Amino acid sequence: MAKATPAQFVRQVRQEISRISWAGRRETGLATITVFIMASIAAIFFLLVDMVFSNVIQYVLGMFN
């Protein structure tokens, strides 16, 4: 593979950047809302699982007292 000069490299980078399709404002907003909703669902799920495990462990340990 041939080495590119710094000027050629900069031109190639600019060409690649011009090919990128950037997300619009609406798409970015929807993605942000989706992330917050999914993170909230995951947090609630793990809270409930933690509470169940905590109660089970307290019950098991309480049996031996």
44-58 tens-digit pLDDT: 999 999 999 999 999
Domain housing 48: 32-65
Residue 39's region, left for phi above 0, alpha for psi from -120 to 50, else beta, is: alpha
Please state the domain count of the chain.
1
CA distances from 38 to 23, 34, 51, 52, 53 (A): 20, 6, 20, 21, 22
Q: Is residue 6 part of a domain?
A: no
Average pLDDT over residues 24-41: 98
On whether the CB atoms of residues 13 and 5 are closer than 8 A, the answer is no
* Structural domain contains residue 10: no
pLDDT at 1: 65
**Residue 16 belongs to a domain:** no
Chain mean pLDDT for the chain = 94
Quick one: DSSP state of residue 64?
T
